[in-house]
Structure 1
Amino acid sequence: MTDKALPDQIADKLRRDILKGVLAPGQQIKERDHATDLDVSRTPMREAIRILAKEGLVLLRPSRSPIVADPSYEEISDAIEVLTALELRCGALACKHATDDDIARIQAMQDHMDDCQGKIDRIDFFELDMQFHMAIAEATQNAVLAETHSAFVRRMWRARYLSAIRKDSSARVKRQHHDIMQAFSERDVYRMCASIGIHLDALLENVKDKYASETEDLQ
Structure 2
Amino acid sequence: MPEETLPEQIANQLRRDILRGKLAPGAQVKERDNAAEMGVSRTPMREAIRILAKEGLVILRPARSPVVAQPTLREVADNIEVLTVLEMLSGELACERALDEQIEEIAEIQNRMASLYDDIDMLDVFELDMEFHLAIVRAANNPVLIETHRSILARLWRARYLSATRKRSRDRVLRQHTDIVEGLQARDPERVKLALHSHLEHLLINVQEYFQIGQTELPPESPHEPAA
TM-score (norm 1): 0.95
Separation (CA, whole Å) in 2 of partners of 1:155 and 1:133: 15
| Secondary structure class of the residue paired with 2:214 | helix
1:98 lines up with 2:122 in the alignment:
no
Which ranges of structure 1 fall in alignment gaps of 5 or more residues?
none
RMSD: 1.2
Q: Which moved more, 1:22-31 or 1:175-184?
A: 175-184
1:67 lines up with 2:70 in the alignment:
no
Match of 2:7 in 1: 7
Separation (CA, whole Å) in 1 of partners of 2:50 and 2:193: 34
Match of 1:131 in 2: 131
Separation (CA, whole Å) in 2 of partners of 1:9 and 1:81: 30
Which ranges of structure 2 fall in alignment gaps of 5 or more residues?
216-228
Match of 1:198 in 2: 198
Separation (CA, whole Å) in 2 of partners of 1:135 and 1:87: 11
Match of 1:108 in 2: 108
Shift of 1:147: 1.6
Following TM superposition, the consecutive aligned residue runs of length 4 or more in structure 1 with deviations greater than 6 angstroms are none
**Letter paired with 1:110:** Q
**Letter paired with 1:53:** A
Aligned length: 214
Separation (CA, whole Å) in 2 of partners of 1:140 and 1:106: 12
**Letter paired with 2:63:** S
Match of 1:156 in 2: 156
Separation (CA, whole Å) in 2 of partners of 1:38 and 1:102: 36
Match of 1:44 in 2: 44
Shift of 1:97: 0.3
Separation (CA, whole Å) in 1 of partners of 2:193 and 2:3: 35
**Letter paired with 1:67:** V
**Letter paired with 1:105:** E
Report percent identity of matched pairs. Answer: 54
| Secondary structure class of the residue paired with 1:166 | coil
Shift of 1:143: 1.3
Separation (CA, whole Å) in 1 of partners of 2:80 and 2:41: 36
| Secondary structure class of the residue paired with 2:59 | strand
Relative contact order: is structure 1 or structure 2 higher (C-alpha 8 Å, sep ≥ 6)?
Answer: 2
**Letter paired with 1:10:** I
Separation (CA, whole Å) in 2 of partners of 1:65 and 1:36: 15
Separation (CA, whole Å) in 2 of partners of 1:22 and 1:172: 29
1:211 lines up with 2:211 in the alignment:
yes
| Secondary structure class of the residue paired with 2:168 | coil
Match of 1:53 in 2: 53
**Letter paired with 2:41:** S
Q: When you count helix as a share of all residues, which structure comes out higher?
A: 1
TM-score (norm 2): 0.92
Shift of 1:105: 1.4
Summarize the alignment of residues 163-178 of structure 1 with structure 2, pairs less than 5 Å apart.
163-178=163-178
| Secondary structure class of the residue paired with 2:25 | coil
After superposition, the C-alpha distances for 1:37-82 in whole angstroms (9 at most, x for unaligned) are 1111111000000000111100111111100000010110011011
Shift of 1:170: 1.5
